[in-house]
Amino acid sequence: MKFCLRNSSWVALSITLSGSGCVVEKIDAIIAEHGVTYWPSSTDEGSESSTGNDTSTSTSTSTSTSTSTSTTTADASDSLAASTSILGTGSTDESSSSTGPGEPICGNSVVEGDETCDDGNADPDDGCKECARDSLVFISSETYKGWNLGGLYGADQRCRSLAAKAGISRPESFRAWLSTQAMPAADRITHSRGRYILVNGLVIAHDWDALTSGALLTTITVDEYSQNQDTKAWTGTLADGQPSPGSEFCGDWDDDSGLVLYGGSGRSQSMDSQWSFFSNVVCDADYSLYCFEN
pLDDT in tens, 74-125: 454 454 444 443 334 344 444 444 455 567 788 787 887 778 787 777 877 8
Min mean pLDDT across 84-88, 148-152, 176-180, 198-202 is at: 84-88
Over 50: is that where the pLDDT of 187 sits? yes
Residue 256 pLDDT = 81
pLDDT (average), residues 198-222:
97
SS3 call for 129: strand
- The percent of residues above 70 in pLDDT, for the chain, comes to 65
Euclidean distance between CA atoms 197 and 140, whole angstroms = 15
**Which CATH topology does 134-293 take?**
Mannose-Binding Protein A; Chain A (3.10.100)
Min mean pLDDT across 25-34, 134-143, 252-261 is at: 25-34
Residue 32 pLDDT = 60
For the chain, which residues make up each domain, given as ranges?
Answer: 3-53, 134-293
The pTM (predicted TM-score) of the whole model is: 0.64
Mean pLDDT of the chain: 77
Euclidean distance between CA atoms 200 and 215, whole angstroms = 20
Residue 34 pLDDT = 57
245: nearest Cα among 270, 268, 262: 262
Q: How far, in Å, are 28, 44, 238, 294 from residue 136 at the CA level? A: 111, 93, 20, 8
